[in-house]
């Protein structure tokens, strides 16, 4: 039995006529008939009733037809999958990033450009949003891959993550502000107007959860989507900024001084995707390239905390 014979059989059934089936298959009608008879001889049963004006299925043929179609569909899927992984990737990959994630240290744009060069038929969709909204979009199937900040909230068990960046969370004050020592406690910090990332971001979530655990309510005076603006506002004396860790020399150049928090808090940048659903081959290839390029490490607490 050969796959082409199954294809011929299915086509004859669909056309209910050998002549039309032969034309559709670009074969001579006698050759098509010979192939069907050979299939019937191999199976030891007649599959088609040729006695009427139209070709119909025998009971055995009706029983065989679903399996013949399934075999052809499986073959098509195998061929399609192999084509995709040998450079014929098609479709769309939807990527989400938190604001500021694609900086010099994390060359996301370079990875996307290299992927596009290798697979020009794949369309890449890129959006910026908060971590909370991107996790929800992953759950709804609206994103394939997202780079998010860990907020401390529970993650959907179907979402898998790997850590891209692990950093301390610090306070930034104006460089010449003499009210502060070498570090600052959460209780003292919450006495001042604060400058924070917007709600739904990872750093904001981690900070607010730490404050809630200590019974504190922070006074958020200013909100912005990216750390550079937070630092600029703090440098101008408008409050204390809660930001990712910054080298002292860089902080001084930006007009601020950084103070470690007590207790110490840490934030993580995560690469996230759904592991409980079959992703497209294009999304799997891009995810693999991002993991290699960004040097990510496995997050063992995958399904526990975002």
Of 6-20, 45-59, 264-278, 286-300, least confident by mean pLDDT is 286-300
Residue 301 has pLDDT above 50, yes or no: no
**CATH class assigned to 95-306:** alpha beta
What residues does 244 pair with on adjacent strands? 169
pLDDT at 296: 64
CATH topology of domain 3-85: Arc Repressor Mutant, subunit A (1.10.10)
Domain spans of the chain, in order of start: 3-85, 95-306
The mean per-residue pLDDT over the stretch 182-205 comes to 93
Confidence band for 56, pLDDT divided at 50, 70 and 90: very high
The mean per-residue pLDDT over the stretch 155-169 comes to 88
- The CA distances from residue 233 to 241, 242, 243, 244, in Å, are 8, 11, 12, 15
Residue 279 has pLDDT above 90, yes or no: no
**303 vs 188, which has greater pLDDT?**
188
pLDDT at 303: 39
Residue 28 has pLDDT above 60, yes or no: yes
- Tokens 């001042």 -> residue: 192
Per-chain mean pLDDT for the chain: 88
| CA–CA gap between residue 151 and residue 131 (Å, rounded) | 8
pLDDT at 155: 79
């Amino acid at each position: 039995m050969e796959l082409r014979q199954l294809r011929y059989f299915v086509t004859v059934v669909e056309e209910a006529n050998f002549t039309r089936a032969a034309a559709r298959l670009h074969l001579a009608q006698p050759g098509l008939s010979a192939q069907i008879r050979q299939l019937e001889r191999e199976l030891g049963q007649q599959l088609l009733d040729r006695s009427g004006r139209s070709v119909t299925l025998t009971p055995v043929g009706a029983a065989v037809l679903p399996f013949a179609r399934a075999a052809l569909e499986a073959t098509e899927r195998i061929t399609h999958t192999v084509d995709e992984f040998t450079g014929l990737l098609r479709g769309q990959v939807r990527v989400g990033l938190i604001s500021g994630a694609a900086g010099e240290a994390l060359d996301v744009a370079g990875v996307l450009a290299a992927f596009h060069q290798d697979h020009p038929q794949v369309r890449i969709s890129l959006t910026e949003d908060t971590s909370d909204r991107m996790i929800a979009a992953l759950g709804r199937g609206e994103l394939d891959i997202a780079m998010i900040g860990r907020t401390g909230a529970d993650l959907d068990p179907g979402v898998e993550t790997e850590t891209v960046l692990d950093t301390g969370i610090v306070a930034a004050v104006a460089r010449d502000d003499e009210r502060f020592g070498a570090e600052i406690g959460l209780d003292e910090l919450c006495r001042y107007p604060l400058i924070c990332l917007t709600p739904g971001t990872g750093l904001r979530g981690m900070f607010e959860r730490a404050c809630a655990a200590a019974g504190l309510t922070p006074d958020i005076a200013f909100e912005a989507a990216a750390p550079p603006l937070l630092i600029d506002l703090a440098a101008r004396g408008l409050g204390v900024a809660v930001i990712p860790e910054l080298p002292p020399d860089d902080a001084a150049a930006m007009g601020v001084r950084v103070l470690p928090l007590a207790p110490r808090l840490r934030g993580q940048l995560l690469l996230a995707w759904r592991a409980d659903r079959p992703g497209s081959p294009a999304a799997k290839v891009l995810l693999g390239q991002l993991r290699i390029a960004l040097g990510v490490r496995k997050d063992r607490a995958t399904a526990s905390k975002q």
